[in-house]
Amino acid sequence: MSTTTIRIPDDLKSRLAKLAEHEGLSTHGLILDAIAEKTEELEQRHSFYAEAEARYARVLKTGKAITWEDMNAFLDARIAGETVPRPVAKPIVE
């Protein structure tokens, strides 16, 4: 484990100390948890954007996509407990 020094404004440090005590954690532990949580959030966001970009690139490459109407009907059927085939991508008509 490595050491990193951060400067925290006094008011934030006080708030962290109160929250840590309330949660039964050390201030250090609370800060580590917060950093880990934020890191996970940002990693998920970046993964989501990468997936969206890859899917959009596939739409542009193939010229095909699933219409909202087809996807909405599929989802409604699934919610109703029906077993239905997944919608198929069709050429985009502009």
> What are the tens digits of pLDDT across the range 18-55?
999 999 999 999 999 999 999 999 999 999 999 999 99
3 φ/ψ angles, rounded to the nearest 5 degrees:
-110, 135
Reference 30, options 10, 16, 42, 40; nearest CA is 16
Does position 94 have pLDDT exceeding 90, yes or no? no
90 φ/ψ angles, rounded to the nearest 5 degrees:
-125, 160
**Residue 77: band (very low, low, confident or very high) from pLDDT cuts 50, 70, 90:** very high
23 φ/ψ angles, rounded to the nearest 5 degrees:
-85, -5
Handedness of CA 9, 14, 18, 20 (dihedral sign): positive
**The one-letter amino acid at 50:** A
